[in-house]
Amino acid sequence: MEPGDEAGGRWLREFGVGEVVRRLRQGADALPGVSGTRWGGLVARAGRAEPERDLEVARAAGMRFVCPGGAEWPGQLDDLGDGRPVGLWVRGTPSLRIWALRSVAVVGARACTEYGAHTAASLASGLAERGWVVVSGGAYGIDGAAHRGALAVGGATVAVLACGVDRPYPRGHTALINRIAEQGLVVGELPPGDHPTPSRFILRNRVIAALTTGTVVVEAACRSGSLVTARAAQRLGRFTMGVPGPVTSGLSAGVHELLRGEAVLVTDAAEVVELVGDIGELAPPRRGPVLPRDLLDPAARTVLAALPGDRPAPAEDIAADARTTRDEAIARLYELRALGYVERHGDGWKLTRQAMMSVREGRGGC
């Protein structure tokens, strides 16, 4: 099934995945609302599909498959209705569900200007420094600058690809995407080995829009793909933002068009956080349940125990105290940040006032 196939999504919802697979494999009668030709194509494709092999390849390469309803499934993707992904392939250690709780998409033109690249990178650095996860599409230009900006300050970033997550695209971003898989998450709805196509790029954008609290467009010509992401974000009720540029630049024209509509003009990370952030910025996120401390992952509890309450400590020190690696510690710190347990100050991390109070009051959770 191609990404965003709403008829397919409806079958899965109505008949369940087992029944749909059984009918496709047996070449049985077509499901309702699909022409004979199209059904024939799907049956042929189902014949070629090797899900068991895909899962095996994936596991061997350190990937996992996250399904709707599963513990790591980001519930906000359900806002896509029958067009939600059938599942997401994931590379990287952090929990996609928890990271997505405090995430912002930074997207824009591939053929961006120096101005755009600079702005995307400093925006992403600023967001990461404030404990927000930067989500983008791994492409050249603005996407790459955003990922690099987050990584540069030891921040959290997620690349959502339009192809198999084992096959970094574009090729020139292989090293970047592998680095994101080590320090963050690489995510996609296509099975291992699949190639990107123009329609897959466009459909990938709905995942970026749905996954995040808001989307910032940095540079985009009129009719740019990143405007698709922004409009999807708008339709889904997410915050939509744009970074302005010179009116003489065609690469800002699409952003200005957005800003003349309902998007909010932002000039730096502080303004983005002001919009998407929770009131007071210490409150637990509005979306998703807040886990009591006892229900935290053991690795997260170990990192939490290593956190100072009085002054911020660098991730290296926390990692050493928790007897784990720096990358693992950072992944857990971002999870704990999303849950309201810790806050970031420049290069350091400390317990939030809320978390400290719950410790002092001897309560198990906060």
- Is residue 246 close enough to count as binding its own copies by CB under 8 A? yes
- Is residue 247 close enough to count as binding its own copies by CB under 8 A? yes
Q: How many residues bind its own copies (CB under 8 A)?
A: 20
- Rounded CA separation 294/99 (Å): 19
Task: Using CB under 8 A, pick the residue from 259, 291, 329, 338 that binds its own copies.
Answer: 259
Task: Using CB under 8 A, pick the residue from 271, 297, 317, 327 that binds its own copies.
Answer: 271
Instruction: With contacts defined by CB under 8 A, name the span among 231-239, 247-255, 301-309, 339-347 that binds its own copies.
Output: 247-255
- Is residue 278 close enough to count as binding its own copies by CB under 8 A? no
Task: Using CB under 8 A, pick the residue from 264, 290, 299, 359 that binds its own copies.
Answer: 264
DSSP labels, 89-128? EEESSS-HHHHHHTEEEEE--SS--HHHHHHHHHHHHHHH
Helix axis angle, 269-276 relative to 114-129, nearest 10°?
Answer: 50
The answer to whether the beta carbons of residues 257 and 222 sit under 8 Å apart is: yes
Q: 215 or 352, CB closer to its own copies? A: 215
- Is residue 267 close enough to count as binding its own copies by CB under 8 A? yes
Name the one residue in this structure whose structure tokens are 């392939």: 89
Instruction: With contacts defined by CB under 8 A, name the span among 47-55, 82-90, 195-203, 267-275 that binds its own copies.
Output: 267-275
Q: 25 or 223, CB closer to its own copies? A: 223
How many other CB atoms are there within 10 angstroms of residue 247's CB atom? 8
Q: 2 or 262, CB closer to its own copies? A: 262
Q: 62 or 246, CB closer to its own copies? A: 246
119's CB contacts (< 8 A; 6+ apart) are: 218, 219, 243, 245
- Is residue 118 close enough to count as binding its own copies by CB under 8 A? yes
Q: 44 or 265, CB closer to its own copies? A: 265
Neighbouring-strand partners of residue 264: 241
Closest CB 268 distance from its own copies, rounded Å: 7
SS (H, E, C) 161-214: ECCCCCCCCCHHHHHHHHHHHHHCEEEECCCCCCCCCHHHHHHHHHHHHHHCCE
Neighbouring-strand partners of residue 42: none
Task: Using CB under 8 A, pick the residue from 198, 248, 298, 362 that binds its own copies.
Answer: 248
Q: Is 281 left (phi over 0), alpha (psi -120 to 50) or beta?
A: left
- Is residue 119 close enough to count as binding its own copies by CB under 8 A? yes
- From residue 11, give the alpha-carbon distance in Å to each of 82, 129, 222: 9, 43, 36
Task: Using CB under 8 A, pick the residue from 1, 58, 185, 243 that binds its own copies.
Answer: 243
Contacts with its own copies by CB under 8 A lie at 115, 118-119, 243-248, 252-253, 256, 259-260, 264-268, 271
